[in-house]
Amino acid sequence: MSKIKEVLRLKYLNQLSNRQIQSLTGVSRNSVANYLHSFVELETSLEDVLELQESDLEQLFHPNKPTPQSKQTLLALIHPDWKSVREELTKKGMTRALLYEEFKSAQPDLYSYSQFNRYYAKFLKSVNPSMRQVHYAGDKLFIDYSGLTIPIVNQRTGEISKAQIFVCVLGASGYTFVHATSSQSTKDFISAHVFAFRFYGGVPNILVPDNLKAAVISHKKGVVKLNESYADMARHYGVAVEPARPYKPQDKSKVELGVKAIQRWILMKLRHFTFFSVDELNQQINLLLDGYNNKVLHRLGKSRTELFEQLDKPTLHPLRSNNYIYKEFKTATVGMDYHVELHGSGYSVPYQYLGKKVDLTYSSTALSISYAGEVIAHHPRLSQPYHDATLQEHMPREHEYQYEKWNPRRILNWANSIGAHTTALMQSIMDSRSHQVRGYKSCMAILSFSKTYGIPALEMAAAVAHELSIHKVASIESMLKTKSYLLHNPQTSANNTFVNKHENIRGSTYYAQINNQKEGETI
C-alpha cells in the first residue's frame, strides 16, 4: 500500500499519533503532518482517497512533482483557465461544482473535483488579497474616505483647509471612483455618491459604507440605525445599505486596498501641486483616475476598466433620470399659531393640527410637512430667516377665533393688567407679524415673565422694549435678568430706594448743605 494511504489509514482509522505513524511507516513527522494537512484541504472522504490510483494520489498530494510527461504539457492539457473560472464565479447562481462538470464534460480525463478546488485555492493565493473574495457582478459598492487629505489654499486669506478624499470600489471588477469634498458632512458624503453613480452609469444592489456618522448613527449587536438623509438617498436610487461591521476589516478589505492604491498612484502624484479650490483638485484627480483604472492587473491580465465593462456594467441597475436632492429631517410641534418653526422662520399647517407633532422633510428649496405618514402641507423654503410662509387655507375662519383658547383680546387684557407699556408692546408684536396669530407665542412668553420677575419690572422693561422696537423674547428676558432696563430710565434709577437708601451713601442733598455752610462762613 502507498505510504500516503498508510499514513491516512493509521491516523483516521487507528487513531495513532504522528510519532507512532513515523515509527511504523518510516515517514518523517513533518511529511506525516503535510499529508494530513493536504487531506483536510481536499474536503473529501477517506474512502475516496484510499480508492485512488497511485499516479492520481501522487498528483493530488505532490502537485508540483514532475511526471513522466512534461509539466508544461500536463498543465496545458488538464488545467482550466483559472482567470476565467474566477470571472464565471462572479455571476450570481454560478457554483464551482457546475463549472467543474462543464470542464469535465469537455475533458473527460480532468482530475477530481476535490483536486479542482485545491488548484483553484492555490491560484487565489497568488492574486491580490482583495481579489480572493468572490464578489458578484454589480452586487456591492464599497465606500470609505482616505485618511490622507489634500490641502486647499484660500487665495484671499491664505488660510489652508483639508479636502477629504472619497473612494468607492465595485466588488467584482475593482473599478474605482475618487472624488474630493470639502468635508465629511452628510451633505458632502451624499453628493459624492451622486457623482459616483453618474460615473458608473448605474447603481449596485448594496452599498457597503464604513461606520462614519454621515451614513450610520449606530451599529451595535447587529442592529443598524442609518442616518435619515443617507437612508432617503438609498431609497431614491433603490439600493440597500449594509455597513461594514465594526472592528471587522475583512468586510471592507476591497475599499481599504483601493484607498491604499489611490494614495500611491493618484494622491502622491499631486503632492507638489497647490490647489485653490476643491474643483481644481477634482479636475486633476479625474485626469489620473482613468490611468489608474486602465492599469493591467498582472495576475488577471486585464484592467479594472475591462473587468468593469465585462462584469459589473451589464448588471448594474439603471440610473434614475433625476439626481437625488439632499434632504434633512426634523420633528416639530405645531404651535398655537398653527405654524412650525424651521431655522427661525414659520411655516403654516392646517389649524386642525394645533399641538400635534409633525415630521419636516426639507431641502434648500422646499419643505414638506407630514403627520402620521400623510403630507399635510408643502412650502417653498424661505430665503430670509425670521419670515413667515402662511397659506390662507390653513387659517381658521374669523368667527372661530372666539372659540379658540387664545385671541388678541385675551392677550391684550392680560397685558393691560400689567401696564400700558406692556399693552403697547404686545400690540406692536402682533402688528409686526404677517398675521396676528403669529405673535401669540411671543406675547404669552413675555407676559409670563411677570410671574418670574414681577409686574413692575416687566412694565419698565416693556417701556424700553417698545421704545427701541425690541420684540425678541430672549432679548427681553435678558433685559429683565440683568435689569438693564434701568439704564434707559435715569429717573427710575435715581429713585430706586434699594440702590440709594443706604447709610454709607450721602447723596446730593448732603453736599449741597456743606456748600451752603462754607459760603456762610466765608461771608
User: Is 321 among the domain residues?
Assistant: no
User: Is 11 among the domain residues?
Assistant: yes
User: Is 42 among the domain residues?
Assistant: yes
- The DSSP annotation for 192-255 comes to HHHHHHHHHTSB-SEEEE-S-TTTEEEEETTEEEE-HHHHHHHHHHT-EE-PPPTT-GGGGHHH
| 157 and 261 both lie in a single domain | yes
Helices marked H in 79-148? 82-89, 96-106, 113-125, 129-132
Of 315, 350, 377, the domain-final residue? 315
| 186 and 166 both lie in a single domain | yes
Which pLDDT value is given to residue 378? Answer: 94
| 149 and 253 both lie in a single domain | yes
User: Is 335 among the domain residues?
Assistant: yes
| 375 and 428 both lie in a single domain | no
Which pLDDT value is given to residue 489? Answer: 57
| 227 and 207 both lie in a single domain | yes
Q: Do 187 and 202 meet the contact criterion of CB atoms below 8 Å apart?
A: no
Which pLDDT value is given to residue 106? Answer: 75
Which pLDDT value is given to residue 338? Answer: 84
Domain that holds residue 101: 3-121
| 350 and 263 both lie in a single domain | no
| 58 and 204 both lie in a single domain | no
| 292 and 165 both lie in a single domain | yes
Q: Do 221 and 336 meet the contact criterion of CB atoms below 8 Å apart?
A: no
| 266 and 292 both lie in a single domain | yes
| 185 and 258 both lie in a single domain | yes
User: Is 293 among the domain residues?
Assistant: yes
Of 395, 418, 433, the domain-final residue? 395
User: Is 127 among the domain residues?
Assistant: no
DSSP state of 502: -
| 150 and 292 both lie in a single domain | yes
Reported as a single tens digit per residue, the pLDDT across 119-128 is 777 776 666 5
User: Is 194 among the domain residues?
Assistant: yes
How many domains is the chain built from? Answer: 4
User: Is 356 among the domain residues?
Assistant: yes
Q: Which amino acid is at 51?
A: E
| 245 and 338 both lie in a single domain | no
Q: Round the CA-based radius of gyration of the chain to a whole number and report it.
A: 40
* pLDDT digit string (tens) for the chain, length 523 residues: 478 888 887 888 777 888 888 877 788 888 888 888 888 877 777 777 777 777 777 777 776 554 444 434 444 445 677 777 776 766 666 677 777 777 777 777 777 778 777 777 777 666 655 444 567 788 899 999 998 999 999 988 989 999 999 999 998 889 999 999 999 999 999 999 999 999 999 999 999 998 888 999 988 877 888 999 999 999 999 999 988 877 676 666 767 888 888 998 899 999 889 999 999 999 999 999 999 999 998 767 889 999 999 889 999 999 998 999 999 999 999 987 788 989 888 899 998 898 899 999 999 999 999 998 899 999 999 888 777 888 888 877 653 443 356 677 788 888 989 999 999 999 988 888 766 777 787 898 899 999 989 999 999 999 999 988 898 888 999 999 998 888 875 554 444 444 455 555 566 666 666 666 655 565 5
pTM for the full predicted model: 0.59
Tell me which residue of 500, 482, 504 sits closest to 491, measured CA to CA: 500
Q: Which amino acid is at 196?
A: A
Contacts made by residues 227-235, CB under 8 angstroms, sequence distance 24+: 227/186, 228/328, 228/329, 229/186, 229/187, 229/190, 229/326, 229/327, 229/328, 229/329, 230/186, 230/189, 230/190, 232/327, 232/329, 233/190, 233/193, 233/194, 233/324, 233/326, 234/207
Reported as a single tens digit per residue, the pLDDT across 176-195 is 999 999 999 999 999 999 99
Q: How far apart are CA 52 and CA 168, in angstroms?
A: 48
